[in-house]
Amino acid sequence: MEFRGAHILSVQQFNREDVDTIFSVADSMEPYAHRLRMTKVLDGAILGNMFFEPSTRTRVSFGCAFNLLGGEVRETTDVKASSISKGESLYDTARVISGYSDAIVMRHPQVGAVAEFAKASRVPVINGGDGSNEHPSQALLDLYTIRKELHSKGRGIDDMHIAMVGDLKHGRTVHSLSQLLMLYKNIKFTLISPKELRMPEDIVSNLRNAGNQVIETEDMEKGLSDNDTVYLTRIQEERFTTKLEADIYRGRFRLNQAIYTRNCQPNTVIMHPLPRDSRADANELDNDLNQHPNLAIFRQTDNGVLVRMALFALILDVTEQIDDSSSKVNWYTEGRFE
Q: Please name the residue ranges forming H helices in the chain.
A: 16-28, 30-33, 57-68, 90-100, 113-120, 136-151, 172-180, 201-209, 220-224, 243-247, 257-263, 297-315
Q: How far is the CB of 17 from ligand NCD (least distance, A)?
A: 26
Q: How far is the CB of 197 from ligand NCD (least distance, A)?
A: 13
State which residue, 110 or 225, has the beta carbon closest to ligand NCD. 110
Q: How far is the CB of 122 from ligand NCD (least distance, A)?
A: 26
Q: Does 108 bind ligand NCD (CB under 6 A)?
A: no
User: What does DSSP say about strands 103-108 and 125-130: parallel, antiparallel, or unpaired?
Assistant: parallel
Site for ligand NCD in 39-58 (CB under 6 A): 57-58
Angle between helices 297-315 and 16-28 (to 10 degrees): 100
Q: Does 169 bind ligand NCD (CB under 6 A)?
A: no
Q: Does 308 bind ligand NCD (CB under 6 A)?
A: no
Reply yes or no: is the peptide bond before residue 194 cis, omega within 30 of 0. Answer: no
Q: How far is the CB of 283 from ligand NCD (least distance, A)?
A: 14
Give the span between the Cα atoms of 145 and 140, in whole angstroms: 8
Q: Does 74 bind ligand NCD (CB under 6 A)?
A: no
Among 234, 250, 252, 308, binds ligand NCD (CB under 6 A): 234
Q: How far is the CB of 299 from ligand NCD (least distance, A)?
A: 14
The stretch among 64-72, 86-94, 199-207, 271-279 that binds ligand NCD (CB under 6 A) is 271-279
User: What distance lies between CA 38 and its chain's CA centroid?
Assistant: 25
Q: Does 170 bind ligand NCD (CB under 6 A)?
A: no
DSSP-assigned states of every residue in 223-247: HHTT-SEEEE----GGGSSSHHHHH
Q: Which sign, positive or negative, has the C-alpha torsion 6, 8, 12, 17?
A: positive
Question: What count of residues does the chain have?
Answer: 338
State which residue, 232 or 318, has the beta carbon closest to ligand NCD. 232
71 and 46 Cβ atoms separated by less than 8 Å: yes
Q: How far is the CB of 154 from ligand NCD (least distance, A)?
A: 28
Interface with ligand NCD by CB under 6 A: which residues? 57-58, 129, 135, 138, 172-173, 234, 236, 273-275
